[in-house]
C-alpha cells in the first residue's frame, strides 16, 4: 500500500521505500509504526539503522540536559545564597560561557577529525566529577572554579551532538529533526527545573549536584551506541584554511555569525536574572522559581515541532530573523510581572518564541557548510555566540547592581535589535539566491 504525506511517499509491506524525490532506494519491510517514526525523524534511507541512531542521540540529549538544567537553573540563587552579588554572578556565568565557547570550537574540530564519541565522553566524565565535587564541598571558592568549568562540559557535548544529528538528517527536513531534538531536551528541562526547586527547598542545593552527577554517569552508557565517523587525513588541514577555502562559508555566513553574536550578548545580559527577579522582585520561593522557569521549557516543548515544520517551509534564515525580532518585545515585558501567574505566563511566551531559535540556528549553519567541515562550522557558531554571551553576563551583572532590576531587560531588548537587522540581511540574501535543498543521499560505505 502506497502512502503519501506531503512530498514523501512510502510503501507499507514487503516492497520498497521511495524517498522525497521519488527515487527507489532500498528493499525494506516497513510497518505502520515504523512509517510514522520514519516520517517524523526524516529518516527515509536505511530506516531501521537511522532510527536507531536518532533514538540514541535523543536519549543522550535528554539525559545530559536533565543534569545540565538541574545544575544551571537555580545556580544564580545558589550563588546569591553563598554571598555573591549581581556582578559576581555575571562574571562566573561569563566564565562558564567562555569555557563553553572554547570547548565548542575544539570539540567541533576533534569531531571532524576523529569522530564524535571522544568529546561527548569527555564531557560526561568531567560533568560527573564536577557534580560530585560540588556535592562534597559547599564553598564559594569551589563553586567559583567548578561553575565555569561546567561550560567545558556543555561545549564538548552540544557541538558534536548537534553536528552528528545534522549529518544523519535529510536536508529537506533538518529543522524538523532539530525540533524533535530540542523538544526532548526541553522535556528534560521541564522535569529538571521543577526537580531542582524541590531538591533545593527540601534537602539543600548540594543534592542537586549529586543528582546531576549520577545522571551524567548513566549517560555514558549510550555513547558507544552513537554512529562512528571515519578519520580524515590531517595533513595540511588548518581550521581557518578550511573556512576561507570553502565555498559553503561565504561572507553571509559571517554576517549570520555577527547577528547571532548580538543576540547571544543580549540574551545573556538578562539570562541569570530571570530567576533572581522572580525571587527578589516578586518574592517567590525556590520551588516557585523552579516552577516558573519550567514554563519556558513547556512553551518550547509545545511549539518546537510546529516551528520546525514552519522553518522547513519558509526557510531557516527567515525563521531565525523572526525569532530574534520578536524576542526583543517579549523580554522587555518580564520585569513588569507583578506575581507568579503573570511571570509564569510571560516566561511561557518566552519559551514559545525561544522555540523558533534552535532548529533554525543549526539549519542555517548547516546550509553554509558541507559535511566535511560541518562540526567545525557549528563549533565556530557556538564559539562566537559563547564569547558574546560571556560579555553579556558581565554587562548584565553590572547593570543589575547599578541600575536596578528592570534596566538590564530594557537594554538587552534594544541591543538585540542590531542582531535582528543583520539577520534580516541574511534572510534577504538567501531569498534572492532561491536556495533549493540538496537531495539527501546515502554516504558510500
Q: Which residues of 268-306 are buried (b: 16+ CB within 10 A; e: fewer)?
A: bbbbbbbbbbbbebbebebebbbbbbbbbbbbbbebbbe
Fold of 40-433: Growth Hormone; Chain: A; (1.20.1250)
pLDDT (0 to 100) of residue 18? 35
User: What is the reported pLDDT for 309?
Assistant: 83
* Residues 237, 233: Cα–Cα separation, whole Å: 8
In this prediction, residue 25 carries a pLDDT of: 38
Residues 138-143, mean pLDDT to the nearest whole number: 86
Distance CA(167)–CA(228), nearest Å, equals 12
Work out whether strand 24-30 and strand 13-18 pair parallel, antiparallel, or are unpaired: antiparallel
Neighbours of 133 (CB within 10 A): 17
| 46, HSE (Cβ side, Cα atoms, 13 Å) | 13
Name the pLDDT band for 229 (thresholds 50, 70, 90).
low
CA 70, CA 213: separation in Å to the nearest integer? 10
SS3 track for the chain: CEEEECCEEEECEEEEEECCCCCEEEEEEECHHHHHHHHHHCCCCCHHHHHHHHHHHHHHHHHHHHHHHHHHCCHHHHHHHCCCCHHHHHHHHHHHHHHHHHHHHHHHHHHHHHCCHHHHHHHHHHHHHHHHHHHHCCCHHHHHHHHHHHHHHHHHHHHHHHHHHHHHCCHHHHHHHHHHHHHHHHHHHHHHHHHHHHHHHHCCCHHHHHHHHHHHHHHHHHHCCCCCCCCCCCCCCCHHHHHHHCCCCCHHHHHHHHHHHHHHHHHHHHCCHHHHHHHHHCCCCHHHHHHHHHHHHHHHHHHHHHHHHHHHHHCHHHHHHHHHHHHHHHHHHHHHCCCHHHHHHHHHHHHHHHCCHHHHHHHHHHHCCCHHHHHHHHHHHHHHHHHHHHHHHHHHHHHHHHHCCCHHHHHHHHHHHHHHHHHHHHHHHHHHHCCCCCCCCCCCC
- 16 has a pLDDT exceeding 50: no
Q: Match 563549533 to its residue by C-alpha cell.
A: 379
Q: pLDDT per residue over 196-221, tens digit each? A: 888 887 888 888 889 989 999 988 88
Instruction: For 431-443, write each residue's pLDDT tens digit.
Output: 777 544 444 444 4
pLDDT digits over 407-420, tens only? 999 999 999 999 99
Q: What is the pLDDT of residue 285?
A: 84
Q: Decide if pLDDT at 370 tops 70.
A: no
In this structure, the number of other CB atoms found within 10 A of the CB of residue 421 comes to 13
Residue-level pLDDT at 118: 86
pLDDT band at 369 (very low <50, low <70, confident <90, very high): low
Q: What sign has the CA pseudo-torsion 235, 236, 238, 242?
A: negative
pLDDT, residue 249, reads 58
34-66: pLDDT as tens digits = 544 444 444 443 444 556 677 888 888 899 988
Rounded Cα–Cα distance for residues 308 and 358 (Å): 9
Cβ atoms 193, 69 nearer than 8 A:
yes
Most confident of 253-262, 320-329, 363-372: 320-329
Break the chain into its structural domains and give their ranges: 2-30, 40-433
Give the pLDDT score at 325: 94
Tell whether the model's pLDDT for residue 17 goes beyond 50: no
Non-local CB neighbours of 187 within 8 Å, separated by 6+ positions: 62, 297, 301
Where residue 238 falls among pLDDT bands split at 50, 70, 90? low
296 versus 108: the higher-pLDDT residue is: 296
What's residue 372's pLDDT? 64
**Rounded distance, CA 41 to CA 179, Å?**
10
**Residue 10 predicted with pLDDT over 70:** no
Mean pLDDT of the chain: 77
Query: Is the pTM for the entire model greater than 0.85?
Result: no
Q: What is the pLDDT of residues 304-357, one digit of tens each?
A: 888 878 887 888 888 999 999 999 999 999 999 989 999 999 999 999 998 888
**Are 426 and 367 within 8 A, CB to CB?**
no
What's the whole-number mean pLDDT along residues 121-125?
91
CA distances in angstroms from 16 to 13, 21, 31, listed in the order given:
8, 14, 12
Question: Is a pLDDT exceeding 50 seen at residue 155?
Answer: yes
Most confident of 16-20, 173-177, 246-250, 319-323: 319-323
Q: Most confidently modeled of 22-36, 104-118, 158-172, 345-359?
A: 345-359
422-439 average pLDDT score: 73
Q: What is the mean pLDDT of residues 350-369?
A: 80
C-beta of residue 304 within 8 angstroms of C-beta of residue 362: no
Amino acid at each position: 500500500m502506497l502512502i503519501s504525506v506531503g512530498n514523501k511517499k512510502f510503501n507499507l509491506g514487503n516492497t520498497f521505500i521511495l524517498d522525497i524525490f521519488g527515487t527507489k532506494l532500498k528493499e525494506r519491510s516497513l510497518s505502520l509504526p515504523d512509517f510514522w517514526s520514519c516520517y517524523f525523524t526524516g529518516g527515509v534511507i536505511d530506516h531501521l539503522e537511522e532510527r536507531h541512531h536518532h533514538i540514541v542521540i535523543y536519549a543522550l540529549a535528554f539525559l545530559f540536559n536533565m543534569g545540565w538544567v538541574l545544575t544551571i537553573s537555580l545556580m544564580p540563587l545558589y550563588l546569591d545564597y553563598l554571598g555573591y552579588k549581581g556582578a559576581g554572578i555575571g562574571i562566573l556565568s561569563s566564565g562558564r560561557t567562555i569555557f563553553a565557547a572554547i570547548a565548542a570550537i575544539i570539540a567541533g574540530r576533534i569531531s571532524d577529525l576523529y569522530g564524535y564519541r571522544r568529546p561527548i565522553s569527555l564531557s560526561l566524565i568531567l560533568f560527573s566529577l564536577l557534580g560530585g565535587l560540588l556535592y562534597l564541598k559547599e564553598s564559594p571558592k569551589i563553586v567559583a572554579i567548578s561553575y565555569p568549568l561546567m561550560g567545558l562540559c556543555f561545549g564538548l557535548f552540544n557541538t558534536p551532538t548537534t553536528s552528528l544529528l545534522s549529518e544523519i538528517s535529510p536536508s529537506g527536513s533538518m529543522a524538523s529533526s532539530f525540533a524533535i531534538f530540542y523538544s526532548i531536551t526541553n522535556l528534560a528541562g521541564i522535569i529538571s527545573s521543577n526537580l531542582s526547586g524541590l531538591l533545593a527547598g527540601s534537602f539543600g542545593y548540594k543534592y542537586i549536584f549529586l543528582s546531576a552527577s549520577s545522571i551524567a554517569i548513566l549517560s555514558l552508557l549510550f555513547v558507544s551506541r552513537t554512529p562512528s565517523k571515519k578519520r580524515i587525513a590531517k595533513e595540511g588541514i588548518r581550521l581557518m584554511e578550511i573556512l576561507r577555502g570553502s565555498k559553503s562559508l561565504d561572507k553571509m555566513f559571517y554576517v549570520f555569525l555577527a547577528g547571532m553574536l548580538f543576540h547571544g550578548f543580549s540574551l545573556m545580559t538578562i539570562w541569570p536574572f530571570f530567576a533572581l527577579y522572580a525571587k527578589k522582585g516578586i518574592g517567590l520561593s525556590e520551588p516557585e522559581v523552579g516552577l516558573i522557569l519550567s514554563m519556558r521549557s513547556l512553551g518550547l516543548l509545545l511549539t518546537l515541532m510546529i516551528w520546525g515544520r514552519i522553518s522547513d517551509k519558509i526557510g531557516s534564515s527567515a525563521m531565525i530573523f523572526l525569532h530574534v525580532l520578536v524576542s526583543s518585545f517579549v523580554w522587555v515585558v518580564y520585569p513588569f510581572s507583578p506575581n507568579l501567574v503573570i511571570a509564569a505566563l510571560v516566561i511561557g511566551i518566552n519559551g514559545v518564541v525561544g522555540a523558533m531559535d534552535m532548529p533554525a540556528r543549526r539549519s542555517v549553519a548547516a546550509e553554509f557548510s558541507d559535511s566535511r567541515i560541518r562540526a567545525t562550522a557549528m563549533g565556530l557558531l557556538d564559539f562566537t555566540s559563547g564569547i558574546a554571551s560571556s560579555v553579556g553576563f558581565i554587562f548584565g551583572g553590572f547593570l543589575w547592581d547599578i541600575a536596578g532590576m528592570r534596566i538590564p531587560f530594557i537594554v538587552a531588548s534594544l541591543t538585540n535589535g542590531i542582531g535582528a537587522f543583520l539577520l534580516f540581511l541574511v534572510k534577504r540574501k538567501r531569498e534572492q539566491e532561491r536556495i533549493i535543498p540538496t537531495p539527501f543521499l546515502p554516504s558510500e560505505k
